[in-house]
Amino acid sequence: MSQPTVILATASYDHTIRFWEAKSGRCYRTIQYPDSQVNRLEITPDKRFLAAAGNPHIRLFDVNSNSPQPVMSYDSHTNNVMAVGFQCDGNWMYSGSEDGTVKIWDLRAPGCQREYESRAAVNTVVLHPNQTELISGDQNGNIRVWDLTANSCSCELVPEVDTAVRSLTVMWDGSLVVAANNHGTCYVWRLLRGTQTMTNFEPLHKLQAHKGYILKCLLSPEFCEPHRYLATASSDHTVKIWNVDGFTLEKTLIGHQRWVWDCVFSVDGAYLITASSDTTARLWSMSTGEDIKVYQGHHKATICCALHDGAEPATS
């Protein structure tokens, strides 16, 4: 199989992971995933592997093979894994789970290298662009910064007591962090560098984005500059696109018939892929706000999507 330059994958409550040709909308590979639902998908920076976060394991699949079997399984979580991601060179993986822990894994070895206790179900974890801090959000409303150099929690804040933090996103240059919660609110902070490596949060904005839950928030990537957008996907069936300069509403993406669970920008920020309970994933043009492709094939709710259409990192 020759490697496609665009890797697009979705996972559904129908216990399958599907790979799609982004332009044509054709599904070219289906992986059966009988053991659990898949909560989150992420593609390695080199485009070789797809991580699927399930319950309670993470499985790594070869992108360029037709094998239905994972190449590796990571097994020390004890509940739903809700977050998964990779360090920029793909050397290690991080995860967050409803078992209350954040973990770090060496991709070349089974077993977990490090574990941090959040003491509440972890819904979301993001890696700061400095590659040395993880930021987690949990069901009790706590946001914590885990300093990987000091190997400790360096910062804690609670934007709204007892309101679950559903999704976190960090601007590519590390200047902003956004937390979205179950009340449809986004909290925006400026990230200031302290004298130590600890990140200080300076409140910048509170955005009442949706009446329903926000299930995913995402800031636009570096190659989208000078435009800076925040996408919020919601249980109200819409995705809203906000201009980060002033947090004014740019567009509302209307087309999904049910909850929108996940979204991911193309590398240049010109397109957005979304995944919804209406069983479909959609490709949206950011310039027009229209959906230009519908990916149909799942039989139940599509709850996560992953896209990698950028260059692979240069091998040193």
Does 37 fall in a domain? no
Whole-number Å distance between alpha carbons of 132 and 150: 9
Does 100 fall in a domain? yes
Give the list of residues 6+ apart from residue 78 with CB closer than 8 angstroms, or none: 56, 97, 99
> Could you tell me if 177 and 157 are in contact, meaning their C-beta atoms sit under 8 angstroms apart?
no
Does 198 fall in a domain? yes
Whole-number Å distance between alpha carbons of 134 and 130: 10
- Look up the CATH number of the domain holding residue 234: 2.130.10.10
Does 316 fall in a domain? no
Whole-number Å distance between alpha carbons of 117 and 99: 9
Q: pLDDT band at 194, cuts 50/70/90? A: low
Q: Collapsing DSSP states into helix, strand and coil, what is residue 27? A: strand
Over the stretch 202-240, which tens digit does the pLDDT of each residue have? 999 999 999 999 999 999 999 999 999 999 999 999 999
Q: Residue 157, class by beta-carbon neighbours within 10 Å (0-12 exposed, 13-18 middle, 19+ buried)?
A: middle
The proportion of the chain whose per-residue pLDDT surpasses 90, expressed as a percent, equals: 91
Per-residue pLDDT averaged across 149-168, rounded?
Answer: 95
Number of domains in the chain: 1
> Is the bond leading into 226 cis (omega within 30 degrees of zero)?
yes
Q: Residue 226, class by beta-carbon neighbours within 10 Å (0-12 exposed, 13-18 middle, 19+ buried)?
A: exposed
Does 187 fall in a domain? yes
Give the list of residues 6+ apart from residue 225 with CB closer than 8 angstroms, or none: none
Does 123 fall in a domain? yes
- Predicted pLDDT of residue 1: 44
Angle at 282 between CA 276 and CA 217, to 5 degrees: 60
The residues that bridge with 104 in the sheet, in sequence order, are 94, 114
Whole-number Å distance between alpha carbons of 86 and 93: 4
User: Average per-residue pLDDT in the chain?
Assistant: 94
Q: Collapsing DSSP states into helix, strand and coil, what is residue 245? A: coil
The proportion of the chain whose per-residue pLDDT surpasses 70, expressed as a percent, equals: 96
Whole-number Å distance between alpha carbons of 6 and 63: 11
- Predicted pLDDT of residue 40: 98
Task: Decide if pLDDT at 2 tops 70.
Answer: no
Does 38 fall in a domain? no
pTM summary value:
0.95
Does 241 fall in a domain? yes
Structural domain boundaries, residue 267: 80-295
